[in-house]
Structure 1
Amino acid sequence: MELTSRQQYILKQIARDNNMDMDEISKALGVSERTIRRDLDDIREYLSTFNVGLKVDSGRVTLSGSRRDIENSLKNLGKLPQLWILNPREREIYIALELLRSNGPIKMAYFSHKLNVVEGSISIYLDRLERWFKQRNLNLIRRRGYGVEVSGNEKDKREALVELLYDFVPAGNMIYMMENRINGGYGDILNHWFHMEDIKKAKAILKEELREMDPPLDEASFYGFLLHVILSVDRAKKGKTVCVERKDELADSREYRIVKKILRRLLPEDLIKEDEEVYLALHLKGAKLQLTEDSKLLPLGITTMELAYSMARGVGDAIGIPIENDRNLISGLAQHLEPAIYRVSIGLAIRNPLLAQIKERYRELFSIVSGVTERIFKPYGYEMPEEELGYITMHMGAAIERWNYERGRLRVRIVCPNGIGSAELLAGRIRKELPELKIMGISPVEGIKEADYDILISTVPLNTTERHVVVSPFLSAADIENIREYISHSDINYTNMSYDESEDTLSVDYEVSVKADEILRNITLESINPENLVEMVGIIAETARDAGICNDTEKVKRVILEREKLGSVALPGEMFALIHGRSEAVFKSYVGIFRLVKPLNMKSIGFNVERVSTVLVMLASAREEPEVIALLGRISSALIEDDKFLNVLKMGDIKEIREAILNVFNKK
């Protein structure tokens, strides 16, 4: 007897794993378990001629027989086209992709032949697709004798293509397939549409040209942008290009310059259109960025940092947890908001494959985030789509889980008179064996004054009434048991334990304190009267040079202007802006306050601008120590957390400003 294409697929899958679940087969093929059982009956009859048995036990399907007999039963099947075993949903996606990529109409008989189904089934798929296309401003044209075609704007077609590709192949699989040539399965289909050599070439060029992105794209965004580039190249070769408005806003951007270089390495000059360059630049500018160490310490844009703080405080107030004190949340959320606001302002869609899971896991939190986000962004005329709200909810959820984790950890301080080596040995053992404990620091036997602990762990007996346990520096199994028993019988009140980040708090050592003192001594306060932003930046660079901060004003100007293009710099409603940058031309870290005689317009949220009369400038060497960058980061945080500090920078004299910044440096 002969097996159908679906039955052949089932047999090959069972033979490959020799232990397959009926439910898995049913879901993979989009048919009921009853249908699968009928197919298995036919497969069992087919296998009996090769002395191979098929058994179903508790929903698990296995084969029995010699390896040679099983291999002979498979040899008789031949190669099965991957398209023949797609489930109904996958067939619809495949048809839609083929229609969107085509330069003209396609006959229904073509799809019937490729998918091995009757034309009646193709007609049903097209009925459903017609509604789907209409929702995306595209029209499905079907005429007898003419065929089937999708008409509409090329930009809408392109966005639909990307959406369908990610529906057809999950994001993780897409990345893997772009890294490796996959034969069989979806790999065969993608290889039919896009040549692996073209993908590899485009990927290598992107990695090279995107090196100047700082912060860099995260991995998923890199491959998402790579997909857009591949599609642009593919469509350009077919004579198709998008039509984009607002070209002037990107004409002088870093993203536009990068895209121009990428396309000129992938396409002949005569196939490259300006609209296509702008379209890709829009996607590059709206891509999610990596949260680097630098961006944890200094914000990409002070506006988004302030928004992140306001959102965290709003959500924190609603749930009764002070998550606005979580520095990782504020920096991570600010990093996400900068491109997110840009995407929303230009109507650029973003995919969030985790949205359904986020809404299920954080149902109440998602609702709170939605309300807080609407309240904060409504004055600016922005409405965050659910996909963006999902990502914001993930940031908030992670902060809540960190808070709950910290709240449940006992704070311990180590007491050890035998030197730092023994103390560090004990600390390392505690971190490994008792991760539920949070080490706050190491103290000498005499003069334990800190009150930032719940229990002392000492290597010697202590003459104190404070809670403490005596252990060996090597923390034996008996020591571990003693600590746990002591904690279980103690009356420590977990509910009063507040959220803090003591382990992450910067400890200012001697070398850093010297640099902090240098920053304080070099602070400048200037009143200037520039006509525009470029002139203002020139004055700032010259002031830094005169103060012995840098030797190349042109390099410093370039760094400041590039940074200004990257992120929003003005605090909404405060007439205040923060500009910062790092350069090889800078010798030492610098803080300067510049008060403008005439306010200037500077970048705020999205394409909005704010009138600014005070500008805080922070410059650092490209090789500056992270601890010093963290000091400057404290100034950024203080701007949004402390109104008094902000007012001192706007109205105080140089002495008051130095004192205010010193307090920020010293604050835990």
Structure 2
Amino acid sequence: MNLSNREIEIILHILRSNNGVTIDSLVKRIGVSKRTIYRELSSIEESLIKLGVQLVKQEGLYTLVGSNNTIEALNNMISNKGSYDDIISPTSRQSSLVCQILLRSDVITIKELSDNLSVSVATVTQDLKAIEPLLNEYKVKLVRIKAKGLTYDGEEDNIRRVISGILSSEINEYEFFEYIDNQKLQSTTTTSYFIKLFDRELLIKSGEAIKSKLSEDLSKLSDSQLKQITIVLAISAMRINDNNPVNNLNDSSNIQMQYKKIASDLYKFFNSNIVEKVNLLELDFLANQIQNMHFSTEENVLSDNYDLELSYNIKDFVKKVSQGYNYDFNNLQLINDLLSHVGSMLNRNMNKLPEINNATLEEIITKYPKLFALIRASWNDTFNAKLARSDIAYLLLHFASEYEKQKKHRYYKILLVCSNGIGTARILESRLKETLPYNNEYIIARINDLKTIDFSEYDLILSTNFLPGFSYPYKVISPLILDNEVEDIRSSLEAIEPIYDKSDESNDLDPLKQLSELSIVTDHSMKLIDYFKVRYLDSNNSSMKEILLNMTSKLDHSIVEDTEMVALSLFKRMEKSPVGIPNTDSGLIHSRSEYVNKPFFGVFRLSNPILIKSMDGNSTNLRNCIYMISPNEIDVYYQKLLGAISSSIIENDNNLDIYQNGNDIEIKELLARIFIEQIKINDWK
């Protein structure tokens, strides 16, 4: 079987994608027109039939289908065909150029680069223009020396991040760890090409060093993170060995000692020539990469580490995306996931590794281009932090996942009007159940039954016959329903809201466990409501410390054990991050302390406002104190209830108005509605 280089590249891309690939992603990866891609796919389809492999298109995604043996045979045949430059894509070729330049200690000519990759000098020149923006983002510059060639200039820590990030993006985790374990390359792939850029001995030593920490210090890292840190360590060892030390770091003051110790332990696996050159800056650089991978954001609203300002911005961000996409993404789980992801992302933003050539991210961008653009615009409108394209794509993954999840839980009632008999109707129903991602109810009707049916009960009406004069909207479909008809039905359902909400999955849960959880959360809810009260406070000529002490002293001793210590904890929390709610006279005063006996929520209204910082960085006059405290350790039910109160303050202007101006009864009723909603969300029912 004779395949062109382009056909090999297309097949490899499809084989490596778990979910299939779109035409648009192939166009972008291969760098040709759609017409060319369609022509290549047609040729590939004919060639693969001889091997017993089918090229299948389903829902716009191309996949390869065959037995395990035939797919493996195809993979082996392609992997062993030709040289590395035959299978390397344009994006990977550009990655190779960066690595070849930055891993050289001397000048390299464009002719040498073109010979290494078996492409023309013009192609290399064009590729160099394409990669310069990435290098500039990390303050690394290509330096062209007339009549000699190319070299580079930049801080060593940035150079290592670029090399490590590119290698991590191009190398497959499975092949990478297989190579470290077996010390040999299994096949000719893009991964094997980039693995050959390492110093073999130093890469193996790096793998051994990382393995020594797997059971303890690095046990929580994912495969991808372990690959990244192994690559960072190997590249660092190579650069140190070539006398390219880290001479400067932007900020190393926040690096924790435990990660410096891990970095020190990892370098002990190398020979004395490298160990002797490892200075404090080298340890800080590696420790910083490890620390970034362990960063997590506190989700407990009462924790001292909880970032209230970030939480406010995340909710505002989600609100903007929801409004722009005309879809309600305001889900507590999504907000918590984003809080964790964005907190980690912003923490490592200055020290992160670049990420390129990620097929999964490109697929999701291709599938949701409008949502991607909206997320980018909403981010720029909310946060004062520039994100790379890949970072926006990771945010898109969160939103797209929530969108797909909510779609699958939708319930539509569909009327099937079929005059061809019950057999044909059942085939039609079965096909729809297989292809539509919803929990639908299908009602089959004959034309003679139409006079007895209330059509307003149905979200969609499908008929295998034309119905002249029929007064309700309907779609005509063929009895065996074609692919394009399925797509049309799916689009129609996505554009409407179901008449009925039947997304109740609680019947699958243990009823005794449900009842127990319901009892606990109901008890917690009633205690928070019973303890609640709006209190008025004389704040004339009082400092913030005095106001906090005065507020806390109003609480019963059963709630607060040591008034002064709790007030001090609240004050320290306010010093750590702003608590004022933007464009209001309210603030969320909160903390947890060992001197608090039980969770408490209340509202204090001051006689005289006091100036504090708000979450948007401006100043505000605080008059309405939304007050929340808890012990250091509380169960998950209290955490979710208190978190729901916190979310309700920011996500809804009507709620905030009640907290600011409502009386005891009005606020208690609001709390009851919030708690009931939490019970529904968490299946405590």
Whether TM exceeds 0.5 here: the answer is: yes
* Residues 1:365 and 2:347 are matched in the alignment: no
Is the Cα–Cα contact under 8 Å of residues 317 and 379 in structure 2 kept in the other structure?
yes
What SS does structure 2 have at the residue aligned with 1:509? helix
* Residues 1:515 and 2:524 are matched in the alignment: yes
Aligned to 2:333, which of 328, 333, 348? 328
What SS does structure 2 have at the residue aligned with 1:307? helix
Shift of 1:362: 1.0
What residue number does 1:27 align with? 9
Distance 1:550 1:141 in 2: 70
What residue number does 2:422 align with? none
What residue number does 1:416 align with? none
Distance 1:650 1:108 in 2: 69
Shift of 1:523: 5.8
Aligned to 1:273, which of 271, 280, 302? 280
TM-score if structure 1 supplies the norm length? 0.57
Distance 2:600 2:294 in 1: 31
Distance 2:212 2:548 in 1: 36
What residue number does 2:635 align with? 625
Alpha-carbon spacing, 1:634–1:592, altered in 2? closer, same or farther (3 Å):
same
Shift of 1:620: 4.9
* Residues 1:97 and 2:99 are matched in the alignment: yes
Tell me the amino acid that sits aligned with residue 47 of structure 2: G
* Residues 1:202 and 2:206 are matched in the alignment: no
* Residues 1:640 and 2:638 are matched in the alignment: no
Distance 1:540 1:20 in 2: 81
Give 5+ residue unaligned stretches, structure 1.
1-18, 31-55, 64-78, 412-433, 440-453, 456-493
Shift of 1:139: 1.9
Tell me the amino acid that sits aligned with residue 262 of structure 1: I
What SS does structure 2 have at the residue aligned with 1:150? strand
Distance 2:525 2:232 in 1: 46
> More displaced, 579-588 or 225-234?
579-588
Shift of 1:165: 0.6
Give the 5 Å matches for 1:647-662.
647=657, 649=659, 660-662=670-672
What residue number does 2:129 align with? 131
What residue number does 2:320 align with? 314
Shift of 1:617: 3.4
* Residues 1:339 and 2:344 are matched in the alignment: yes
Write out per-residue CA displacement over residues 288-317 of structure 1, whole angstroms, 9 at most, x where no aligned residue. 859x9979x999544444434334333333
Shift of 1:357: 1.7
Give the 5 Å matches for 1:78-227.
87=88, 93-94=95-96, 96-102=98-104, 104-105=105-106, 127=125, 130-131=128-129, 134-135=132-133, 136=135, 137-140=140-143, 149-170=151-172, 174=176, 183-185=185-187, 186=191, 189=196, 192-193=199-200, 194-202=202-210, 204-205=212-213, 208-209=216-217, 220-221=224-225, 223-224=227-228, 227=231
Alpha-carbon spacing, 1:563–1:285, altered in 2? closer, same or farther (3 Å):
farther
Distance 2:655 2:117 in 1: 72
Shift of 1:161: 0.5
* Residues 1:262 and 2:277 are matched in the alignment: no
Shift of 1:539: 10
TM-score if structure 2 supplies the norm length? 0.56
Distance 2:562 2:179 in 1: 48
What SS does structure 2 have at the residue aligned with 1:59? helix
Shift of 1:636: 2.3
Aligned to 1:59, which of 34, 47, 65? 47
* Residues 1:351 and 2:355 are matched in the alignment: yes
Is the Cα–Cα contact under 8 Å of residues 613 and 619 in structure 2 kept in the other structure?
yes
Is the Cα–Cα contact under 8 Å of residues 141 and 151 in structure 1 kept in the other structure?
no
Alpha-carbon spacing, 1:232–1:169, altered in 2? closer, same or farther (3 Å):
same
Percent identical:
15
Write out per-residue CA displacement over residues 213-260 of structure 1, whole angstroms, 9 at most, x where no aligned residue. xxx776645654554455445545645216343x3xx73x4x544433
What residue number does 2:674 align with? 664
Shift of 1:360: 1.4
Shift of 1:86: 7.0
What residue number does 2:401 align with? 398
Is the Cα–Cα contact under 8 Å of residues 593 and 649 in structure 1 kept in the other structure?
yes
Give 5+ residue unaligned stretches, structure 2.
13-43, 52-79, 268-274, 415-435, 442-456, 459-495, 508-513, 681-685
Distance 2:666 2:547 in 1: 24
Alpha-carbon spacing, 1:100–1:504, altered in 2? closer, same or farther (3 Å):
farther
